[in-house]
A and B are shown apart, each in its own frame.
Chain A
Amino acid sequence: MLRLTCPVCGATGEETEFHAGGEAHLKRFGPGSTDEDFRDYLFQRQNPRGVHFERWRHQYGCGKWFHVARCTQTLEVFGSYTAQTSTVPDHIQSAIKARRPDWEPAQ
């Protein structure tokens, strides 16, 4: 069972305090988008063995959403960061690279 730290309230809690919200940094495609873009937005998800970015909500705590960079293979957590961003912040990228030198951010 994971141990996560909410970047909003700073509390470290066990997984049961949180709610998983799937892949992070999805770009929303609304009216006017192509069928392919819309399909991918709804259904196409990364399923990497390794570095992954996820959305979590501190459901039983401060109620806020945040992002987590995590290794799906080892469950190592590289960091948690604000949900109000569409890109992976530099300090998180550095933290990942420090431990996964071969990792490159997705384009």
Chain B
Amino acid sequence: MFEPRTALQGAHFSGDITVTDAGLVGMIAIRGSLTDPALCAAVAEVTGHPVPATRKMSGDATDGLAWMSADELMLFCAYGDAPTVAARLVDALGDVHSMVSVLSDARAVIRLHGDVVREVLAKGAPVDLAPDQFAQGDIRRSRLGQVAVAFWMTGADSAELVCFRSVAGFVFEWLSTASQSGSAVGYFATPRR
């Protein structure tokens, strides 16, 4: 009876690329000093990911750890696991000055797939998306059109994007518009698969 719902409720669009609601994703914001060895050890132990370097990400939205700021990480895990993982993080961090908050429901994750994924993002984000400038393992927080987003490549022709829940509909509509069939720019070399 009480099935949790994502903001996009499984929405899917297919044009120059596909735009798909990633469904429920566990997300935990971890704030603390990323240069504190105790914090890094605790985070690595609980998440299985090393604390990523600046603007880097380990893994993806199914299981990943992303650098969000100098004192903030975002952990991605299974939706149902987030509360217990968060509790384990709090335990492991002990007295380390830190903050762990579950934000699984505050955001929406969208998956993008297709040859021109980079181009679709480059229509809205003021970011150099050339393959040699933005590669798998990088994460960029920026804006898409008028709203804040973060995105990362998950393969040569796929990416994931996270935005606030309240604007998920706007972002989905924006991505669908920018990737309507026949809108390819032909600027970045087609990825080799």
Establish whether A and B are touching in the complex (CB under 8 Å).
Answer: yes
Residues of A within 8 A of B (CB): 8-11, 13-14, 16-17, 60-64
CB distance from A14 to the nearest CB of B (A): 5
Identify the closest chain B residue to A10 (Cβ).
B54
Identify the closest chain A residue to B148 (Cβ).
A60
* Additional A-B contact list (9), CB under 8 Å, known A13-B127, A60-B143: A8-B70, A9-B69, A9-B70, A9-B141, A13-B126, A16-B143, A17-B142, A62-B72, A64-B69
Contacts of A64 in B (CB 8 A): 69-70
Q: Evaluate contact between B126 and A63: CB separation under 8 angstroms.
A: no
Q: Evaluate contact between B55 and A11: CB separation under 8 angstroms.
A: yes
Given known pairs A13-B142, A16-B126, A16-B143, the reply for A62 and B148 (CB within 8 Å) is no
Near A by CB (< 8 A), chain B positions 53-78 give 54-55, 68-70, 72
CB distance from A65 to the nearest CB of B (A): 11
Contacts of B127 in A (CB 8 A): 13
Residues of B within 8 A of A (CB): 54-55, 68-70, 72, 126-127, 140-143, 148
A89 to B55: give the CA distance in the assembly, Å. Answer: 25
Contacts of B143 in A (CB 8 A): 16-17, 60
A65 to B183: give the CA distance in the assembly, Å. Answer: 37
Contacts of A11 in B (CB 8 A): 55, 140
Q: Evaluate contact between A8 and B142: CB separation under 8 angstroms.
A: no
A63 to B150: give the CA distance in the assembly, Å. Answer: 12
Identify the closest chain A residue to B144 (Cβ).
A60
CB distance from A32 to the nearest CB of B (A): 30
Given known pairs A9-B54, A9-B55, A9-B69, the reply for A62 and B126 (CB within 8 Å) is no
Contacts of B69 in A (CB 8 A): 8-9, 62-64
What are 9 of the A-B contact pairs (CB < 8 Å)?
A8-B69, A8-B70, A9-B69, A10-B54, A13-B126, A17-B143, A60-B143, A61-B142, A62-B68
A64 to B72: give the CA distance in the assembly, Å. Answer: 11
Contacts of A9 in B (CB 8 A): 54-55, 69-70, 141
A61 to B12: give the CA distance in the assembly, Å. Answer: 27
Contacts of A62 in B (CB 8 A): 68-70, 72, 141
- Please name the 3 residue pairs, one residue from A and one from B, whose CB atoms are nearest each other, closest first: A62-B69, A60-B143, A14-B126
A63 to B31: give the CA distance in the assembly, Å. Answer: 13
A61 to B72: give the CA distance in the assembly, Å. Answer: 12
Given known pairs A8-B69, A9-B70, A10-B55, the reply for A61 and B126 (CB within 8 Å) is no
